[in-house]
Amino acid sequence: MARGTVNEPQETKELVWEYLFIKKEPLYTLSAKLSRTENLETTEYQLRKLKKHFIELEFSEWAILPEPLKRVHRKYAEYKAEAEKCLPRTPLQQEAYEMCSNGDHSWFNDSRFDGHAYKFEVVSEAGDNRIQVLMKRTCHFCGHVDVSGP
Ligand SMILES: [Zn+2]
């Protein structure tokens, strides 16, 4: 799980961010507005958390946002340059890239993409009383990380 991940579904996050960062709705009136216009019940605490989350958004989370939201992020230029470095260059990469763009990384389980569209590493993590060996896969395009047991 990425740092700062909030449990709200992606659509809810995007909706709230759209109100906060595109429509520039003040935070203190947003809860009432969302309940009235979107039939969405939120607390001010949740909205505050979501606002903070967007400001601190990681590249992998930014990469799957709709374009208008990508554009209003403070790291837009930096993240865009990053994304351009990682564009697909082969048909195999293109195949993975399309799934990545939809937020789908189930192709991490397909070893055809190993070294082409994701980086595979074995990492160890000190647990309570033993060292755990984990498989770590990192998406070439958006930086999404998946860590799983052996
Ligand atoms: Zn990805």
CB 120 within 8 Å of CB 114: yes
Neighbours of ion ligand 1 (CB under 5 A): 100, 139, 141-142, 144
| Whole-structure pTM value | 0.68
Per-residue pLDDT, averaged over 49-66, amounts to 93
Calculate how far, in angstroms, residue 29's C-alpha sits from the geometric centre of ligand 1: 35
pLDDT in tens, 76-121: 999 999 888 889 999 999 999 999 988 899 999 999 999 999 999 9
Q: Give the Å distances, CA to CA, from 42 to 14, 33, 35, 95.
A: 14, 10, 8, 38
